[in-house]
């Protein structure tokens, strides 16, 4: 499953060398030089740079994103030692301000990738190459652009839309309204669905987006839009989208798409889903493709895994650890419903890993009580590590970050069907997920919307979904209010003050900030 990683890595190195000579990809307010964009190989190198940005930019998986998308929820605590990146506690009590540097890091990270995608979308149409290959590459760029705009609109609300490369480098534009951002995302995904391949990639290209990835992401975007009455100031769905719109798309993905739950290991399937041998498997919709190399190992090693692994042992930093709240709820669920995901996802100090390593590390972690514990999903057994550079830790880990899985689509479908009154249909989808987890089937007599939301909590634990789901479903005030979360202020994070200062008066701060 690492074939694509090696191809991506090779082209990523070549393309980044080209960036230094011609493209200026590293700076998102610079336009490219004209020497590139001549051949199909240039187009491939450029789209690989888009994928590569998810790996090379640590803000996709380090505390810059773990803070606002995980620690801000009730799912994980800061972890590590008390004095290690202590500023992350601002996400625990919501004491951050618009000047908080981590917001600026996130903003620039996502817009840097968007600029890479815009360079592909703008320049590849002019290359003389096979039309199907051209459409595929443009569709992949639109998919990744949509992915980042979806994250930005959930984080910050109204944000600037760059549809291609601005003339004369005019990047100082105002934010677009939230409904316009969502509409822009849907247009990108609709284009991708219409123009990208609908067949799965061969082994050498696994991990690249397809039309079905665009369609699946469309379902998730529509779910947020249909949920607008729970969190938007006007208490209305975004752009009038309904749960019928959501269900139409989930039906298409479920009935016609290539995805299926990974169940090959029986009761151990959820654990093995996150192991190296099952990267880009039939359940995977989109993953960050992590690899290791002598050339750019420090860039392409998987800091996602190391940031969350054991503090003081095996090279880990111990951030974003399972919270007291999550552990208590999951223990109770394991006892009452035999939820196998609990044992597969949480490992404690004193436990033994699948390959025989005893978890030790720091005796205490910041933000939790009792025994230290960690996200077991990130673990890579020692005999599966790359061994590059004589054991230097950063080059050892090649663990992909599973950003989007088919299980998510099934739970989106369950929620849509429940909201549309199709209880029987909702049960089919949610029970597929529950059966793999070892839980008993729900019935028409006991299925509730809360149980669907709870299933999302545990199935998608540590996937950067919980905080946004709490806001989307209107539960954030109830669940997080005791820590200082306030509606409507905390529905969106503040626009980074540095970006407002750089915008020549174009960007305005979010309400209540």
Crossing angle of helices 406-419/449-459, nearest 10°? 170
Which tokens go with 294? 């002598």
Query: Measured between alpha carbons, how far is 429 from 225 in angstroms, rounded to an integer?
Result: 21
What is residue 170's three-state secondary structure?
coil
Length of the chain: 513
Identify the pLDDT of residue 171. 87
Q: What is the pTM of this model?
A: 0.93
Query: Measured between alpha carbons, how far is 121 from 209 in angstroms, rounded to an integer?
Result: 15
* 183: exposed, middle or buried (Cβ count in 10 Å: 0-12, 13-18, 19+): middle
The correct CATH number of 3-288+302-377+410-502 out of 1.25.40.390, 3.40.718.10, 3.30.70.260, 3.30.70.1450 is 1.25.40.390
Place of tokens 């003081």: 312
The domains of the chain are located at: 3-288+302-377+410-502
Alpha carbon separation from 201 to 85, 250, 288 (Å, rounded): 41, 21, 16
φ/ψ of residue 322, rounded to 5: -55, 130
Identify the pLDDT of residue 27. 42
Of 296, 280, 182, 253, give the one whose Cα is nearest residue 409. Answer: 253
Query: Measured between alpha carbons, how far is 66 from 55 in angstroms, rounded to an integer?
Result: 15
* 315: exposed, middle or buried (Cβ count in 10 Å: 0-12, 13-18, 19+): middle
Long-range contacts of 450-456 (CB under 8 A, 24+ apart): 452/411, 452/414, 452/415, 452/418, 452/426, 453/415, 455/411, 455/414, 455/430, 456/408, 456/411
Task: Work out the angle at residue 415's Cα, subtended by the Cα atoms of residues 412 and 416, and round it to the nearest 5 degrees.
Answer: 85
Identify the pLDDT of residue 301. 56
Do residues 13 and 296 touch, judged by C-beta distance below 8 A?
A: yes
Identify the pLDDT of residue 293. 59
DSSP calls for 201-233: PPGGGTTS--HHHHHHHHHHHHHHHHTGGGTST
Per-residue pLDDT of the chain (513 residues; tens, 9 = 90+): 344 444 443 333 333 333 333 333 344 344 455 679 999 999 999 999 999 898 878 888 899 999 999 999 999 999 999 999 999 999 999 999 999 999 999 999 999 999 999 999 999 999 999 999 999 999 999 999 999 999 999 999 999 999 998 877 788 999 999 999 999 999 999 999 999 999 999 999 999 999 999 999 999 999 999 999 999 999 999 999 999 999 999 999 999 999 999 999 999 999 999 999 999 999 999 998 887 655 544 444 567 888 999 999 988 899 999 999 999 999 999 999 999 999 999 999 999 999 999 999 999 999 999 999 999 999 988 888 776 654 445 446 678 999 999 999 999 999 999 999 999 999 999 999 999 999 999 999 999 999 999 999 999 999 999 999 999 999 999 999 999 999 999 999 999 999 999 999 999 999 999
Query: Measured between alpha carbons, how far is 202 from 207 in angstroms, rounded to an integer?
Result: 10
Identify the pLDDT of residue 431. 98
Identify the pLDDT of residue 35. 78
């Amino acid at each position: 499953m690492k074939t694509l990683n090696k191809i991506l890595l090779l082209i990523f190195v070549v393309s980044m060398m080209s960036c230094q000579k011609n493209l200026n990809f590293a700076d998102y307010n610079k336009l490219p030089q004209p020497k590139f964009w001549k051949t199909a190989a240039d187009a491939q190198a450029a789209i690989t740079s888009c994928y590569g940005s998810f790996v090379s930019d640590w803000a996709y998986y380090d505390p810059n994103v773990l803070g606002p998308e995980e620690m801000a929820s009730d799912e994980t605590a800061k972890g590590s030692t008390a004095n290690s990146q202590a500023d992350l506690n601002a996400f625990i009590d919501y004491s951050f301000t618009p000047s908080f540097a981590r917001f600026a890091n996130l903003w620039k990270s996502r817009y840097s990738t968007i600029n890479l995608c815009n360079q592909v979308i703008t320049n590849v149409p002019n290359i003389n190459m096979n039309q199907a290959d051209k459409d595929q590459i443009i569709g992949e760029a639109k998919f990744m652009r949509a992915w980042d705009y979806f994250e930005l609109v959930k984080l910050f609300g109204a944000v600037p839309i760059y549809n291609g490369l601005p003339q004369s480098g005019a990047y100082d534009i105002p934010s677009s309204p939230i409904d316009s951002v969502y509409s822009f995302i849907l247009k990108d995904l609709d284009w991708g669905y219409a123009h990208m391949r609908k067949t799965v990639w061969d082994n050498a290209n696994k991990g690249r987006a397809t039309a079905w990835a665009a369609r699946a992401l469309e379902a998730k975007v529509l779910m947020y839009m249909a949920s607008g009455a729970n969190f938007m100031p006007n208490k209305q769905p975004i752009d009038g989208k309904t749960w019928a719109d959501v269900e139409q798309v989930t039906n298409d993905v479920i009935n016609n798409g290539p995805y299926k739950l990974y169940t090959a290991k029986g009761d151990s399937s959820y654990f093995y889903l996150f192991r190296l041998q099952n990267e880009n498997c039939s359940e995977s919709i989109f993953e960050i493709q992590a690899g290791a190399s002598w050339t750019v190992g420090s860039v392409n090693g998987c800091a996602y895994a190391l940031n969350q692994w054991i503090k003081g042992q095996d090279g880990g930093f111990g951030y974003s650890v399972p919270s007291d709240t999550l552990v208590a709820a999951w223990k109770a669920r394991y006892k009452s419903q035999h939820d196998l995901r609990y044992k597969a996802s949480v490992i404690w100090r004193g436990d033994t890993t699948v390959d025989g390593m005893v978890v030790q590390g720091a005796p205490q972690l910041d933000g939790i009580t009792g025994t230290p514990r960690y996200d077991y999903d990130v673990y890579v057994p020692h005999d599966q590590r790359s061994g590059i550079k004589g054991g230097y830790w950063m080059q050892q880990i090649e663990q992909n970050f599973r950003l989007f899985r088919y299980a998510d689509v099934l739970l989106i479908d369950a929620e849509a069907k429940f909201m549309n009154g199709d209880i029987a249909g909702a049960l089919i989808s949610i029970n597929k997920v529950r059966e793999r987890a070892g839980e008993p089937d729900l019935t028409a007599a006991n299925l509730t919307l809360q149980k669907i939301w709870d299933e999302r909590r545990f199935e998608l634990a540590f996937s950067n979904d919980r905080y946004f789901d709490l806001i989307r479903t209107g539960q954030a005030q109830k669940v997080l209010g005791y820590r200082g979360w306030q509606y409507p202020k905390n529905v969106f994070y503040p626009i980074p003050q540095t970006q407002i200062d750089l915008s020549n008066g174009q960007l305005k701060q979010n309400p209540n900030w």
